[in-house]
Amino acid sequence: MGVVIDSPGHVVFRDLPAPPAQLEKGYYLVEMAAAPINPSDLMYIEGRYPASAPTAPGKLRVGGFEGTGIVRAAGGGDAKHSMVNHPVALWIPEGGTWAHQVVVPAHLVMELPKGVSLGLGSPWVNPLTALALVQKAQNHHDPMTGKSLKPVAVALTAAASSLGRMIIRLAAEKKSNLVVLGIVRKAEQCDQLRSLGCEHCFTTTDPAFDDQFREAAAHLNCTLCYDCVGGSLPGRILRLMPPGSTVVVYGSLDPQPTLDGLSPMDLLIHGKRIEGFHLHMFLEAIGKKDTAKLMTTARDKWAGPLATSINKRLPMDQVSNALEEYRRNMSAGKVLLTGPAMPPEELRQPPSAEAPAAQSTAPTQAHTSQPGSSS
């Protein structure tokens, strides 16, 4: 069973083909416990977000790019048999985690850290992205002189988002060498971010925003911005930043399909740039060895600066209600779709409570399926 995108903007919970009886070498069979709903999932459902690999003709488009579960079988090789019945986090770049069972390559699977529950461990693309963007910022140099910056000032749009808060908490750590200029829509969000250590926060709806941000960016020599909004915001921010600045777009919350407000003179005369960042492409570029290092760092910080707030959990057969809940209040925390491997004792915990770490388990009974369908 799983959540299938049968037309743009519409999903259905239905039967899926059974996994192969014999796994290929290097693959795991994972029974899913939890998979979050992310902005990229909404865009994927609406047909605005391409998966990393095109869906083969006749193949069902299953939602979800990340999640957690219990390994039920291993194909050998990199997929070690010792991992069977162990809790793991996983990522499927082409989509497919909104299902009761998934087959996934071993290099996209990571054993859950001790002390991290299956629910809280399910959103892990954000932690990896936050770490990658922080490392990228730490290697940023003055674009005019080429010299190292101490500290590196980085602007961050949608700074109150789950990923934005992760970056702010990482920047607040000792020896991070980072100062974050948070950009949000509501004044009360600045109060929340200051409590996390973000001293510089700006509200785009404030009439004085342009002057205040331009002055701060010049004073702190802020020549790097991470944007996940898109639309007209990246161009607006880039215009306010010093010569040589770069805006890195890593998301597109604005439904507008294009970036507006970019000044050709900023690019031609002032040496400003705009570029993109996609986690899957980044991990492919750095290779499996460095990807493993990044995952290890994420695992060590999962219950600290990379912790994720969970708002609600709903079973996969209630996907329509879950999507509606997430759209209604995205800043309240993640909404999780739960699968058959989610332990009943964790479901009794409040969503954001740090439940006991998942332990090796025996196969579990699947959730009751919709009338007229079978698991």
Query: CB atoms < 10 A from the CB of 359, how many?
Result: 11
Query: Which of the following CATH numbers is that of domain 132-279: 3.30.1330.10, 3.40.50.720, 2.102.10.10, 3.30.450.20?
Result: 3.40.50.720
- Domain spans in the chain, listed from the N-terminal domain onward: 2-123+308-347, 132-279
Average pLDDT of span 224-245: 94
289 near 330, Cβ under 8 Å?
Answer: no
Lowest mean pLDDT among 21-35, 172-186, 321-335: 321-335
Question: What is the pLDDT at residue 373?
Answer: 31
237 near 247, Cβ under 8 Å?
Answer: yes
Question: 3-state class of 143 per DSSP?
Answer: coil
Looking at the DSSP bridge assignments, the partners of residue 310 are: 334
Looking at the DSSP bridge assignments, the partners of residue 34 are: 68, 338
Question: What is the pLDDT at residue 120?
Answer: 85
Whether residue 354 is predicted with pLDDT greater than 70 in this model: the reply is no
Q: What is the pTM of this model?
A: 0.80
Question: What is the pLDDT at residue 368?
Answer: 28
Question: 3-state class of 273 per DSSP?
Answer: strand
Question: How many Å apart are CA 218 and CA 220, to the nearest integer?
Answer: 6
Whether residue 191 is predicted with pLDDT greater than 80 in this model: the reply is yes
Q: Are strands 200-203 and 178-184 parallel, antiparallel or unpaired?
A: parallel
Question: What is the pLDDT at residue 215?
Answer: 97
- Single-letter code of the amino acid located at 334: K
The topology under which CATH files domain 2-123+308-347 is Quinone Oxidoreductase; Chain A, domain 1 (3.90.180)
pLDDT tens digits, residue range 45-104? 988 776 655 555 567 899 999 999 999 999 999 999 999 999 999 989 889 999 999 999
Q: Which residues of 18-55 are buried (b: 16+ CB within 10 A; e: fewer)?
A: ebeeebeeebbbbbbbbbbbbbbbbbbbeeebebeeee
Question: What is the pLDDT at residue 375?
Answer: 32
200 near 146, Cβ under 8 Å?
Answer: no
